[in-house]
Amino acid sequence: MKNQWIIFLYGRVTVKISGRGIERLLNVLTRNGIDIWNVKRHGADTITLKIKLADVMKIRHLARKSGCRISFLERSGAPFLLKRMVKNSGFLIGAAMFIVIVFLLSNVIWGIEIKGAKPATEYQIRQELDKMGVKIGKFQFSVDNAEGIQRKLSNNVNQLTWVGVELKGTTYHLQVVEKNEPKQPKKLKPRNLVAKKKAVIVRMDIDDGQKKVDVHDYVEPGQLLVSGEIGQEGEETKLVAAKGEVWGETWYKSHVELPIKTTFHSYNGKEKRKYYILIGGLKIPVWGFGKHGFKEYKTEKNVHKLHFLKWELPLSYMDKTIREQEALIRTYTNKEAEKKALELAKKNIKKLVAEDAIIKDEKILHKVIKNGKVILDIHFKMIENIAVGKPITKEIHE
């Protein structure tokens, strides 16, 4: 019999037929369109065969007229399986509920461990986690993923140099590196301090070594500022690692072009959320159907891995937020454009020097408004530490 899967869906029955008119009954069944298969003889007056569940009533009627006796030995297929499932529905529902409960509990946050943080910093981190909804008892897929939590903590907790966030099972593990950690003293080899750029000396704070220049001196790049060779002429000298800071006035030029009219994008508060179940490369939408209808927009995605007990399932939950943006045009007056260009020039200069460098003065050398832009050439006077270490290679002999 072909199409066994279809027969399974409709149900099949094994029938036992006994009597002297078996062959005649088989011919009658065939003429009446009843499918029979797996016909087997058991002695002279008995056979077994299989029929579809839908033909049971027909074979009963035809068997009575033939004088044969029939009995039903075995029932199989989807209808009988469903009947047994309904009969045992209490057990099945309980098993299903157990699996669902275990699955849900496997995706709840049951622990948050923070390592490497001082008590005050740990308290601040936990306060920030509470604001984000990352707390014990919350579902993992209702909060940001590990990367999102890490990014927000880095932005919102100033005491952190770095924080690593990892989800293991039902516990978030945070590894923290705080700012201002005491640095291990570095043993320096004998060296001089030389100028890294041309400057006029304005202040010298020397911890070790012998000065070779003084305040108001003009120095060139590579010029010796502080010697690591200590001792008077004609006396025994020794080599040390020169230490200290030599602050000098330095000079920079900056060229800046700033459009008077600029276009930028801003959120207008309208958004649409969509939720998906990810199975391998298949994305199944579960909420937020339809198109968003936004002309300009930005999309943010969060993917949450789902777990069952300690195992990570090949199943993920994704929420996607689509926020509408509006293009806005900002127009500066000439005075505002000049002010913004000057601020931009200062930022550019700050990138070229150390953080502790100070802008002493700035002077606009050239200003022009052309092609919808304000163009500035600016001269900056900076105060910065110009000293840099240079190893001493010669040896001192007695």
Which range is most confident: 50-59, 182-191, 364-373?
A: 364-373
Q: Detail the DSSP E strand segments found in 169-228.
A: 171-178, 191-195, 199-208, 210-211, 218-219, 224-227
- In the block, tokens 């003889």 appear at 41
The whole model's pTM is what?
Answer: 0.50
Task: Give a yes or no: residue 105 inside a domain.
Answer: no
Mean pLDDT (whole number) for 354-381: 92
Range of the domain at 301: 264-327
The reply to whether 234 and 351 lie within a common domain is yes
The reply to whether 230 and 208 lie within a common domain is yes
Cα 42 off chain centre by = 69
Listed range (230-239, 361-370, 372-381, 384-393) with the worst mean pLDDT = 230-239
The reply to whether 172 and 236 lie within a common domain is no
CA distance 294 to 87: 52
Task: Give a yes or no: residue 43 inside a domain.
Answer: yes
CA distance 343 to 380: 12
Residue 143 pLDDT: 84
Residues 6+ apart with CB under 8 A from 141: 107, 304, 306, 317, 319
Residue 398 pLDDT: 39
* pLDDT tens column, 117-172: 888 888 888 888 888 888 888 888 788 888 888 888 888 888 788 888 888 888 88
* pLDDT tens column, 282-302: 888 888 888 888 888 898 888
Q: Which amino acid is at 113?
A: E
How many domains in the chain? 4
The reply to whether 211 and 339 lie within a common domain is yes
CA distance 8 to 29: 21
The reply to whether 196 and 286 lie within a common domain is no
Residue 362 pLDDT: 92
Residues 6+ apart with CB under 8 A from 149: 129, 132, 134, 143, 165, 172
**Which among 178, 196, 229 is the end of a domain?**
178
Longest CA–CA separation in the chain, Å: 140
- Find the CATH number of the domain harbouring 48: 3.30.70.260
The reply to whether 236 and 256 lie within a common domain is yes
**Which among 146, 178, 210 is the end of a domain?**
178
Task: Give a yes or no: residue 46 inside a domain.
Answer: yes
CA distance 21 to 49: 15
Residue 315 pLDDT: 84
Of 94, 92, 83, 172, give the one whose Cα is nearest residue 126.
Answer: 172
Task: Give a yes or no: residue 252 inside a domain.
Answer: yes
The reply to whether 256 and 367 lie within a common domain is yes
The reply to whether 148 and 273 lie within a common domain is no
Which range is most confident: 308-312, 319-323, 376-380?
A: 376-380
**Which among 312, 327, 342 is the end of a domain?**
327
The reply to whether 68 and 197 lie within a common domain is no
The reply to whether 227 and 371 lie within a common domain is yes
Of 288, 275, 264, 272, give the one whose Cα is nearest residue 323.
Answer: 272
Task: Give a yes or no: residue 376 inside a domain.
Answer: yes
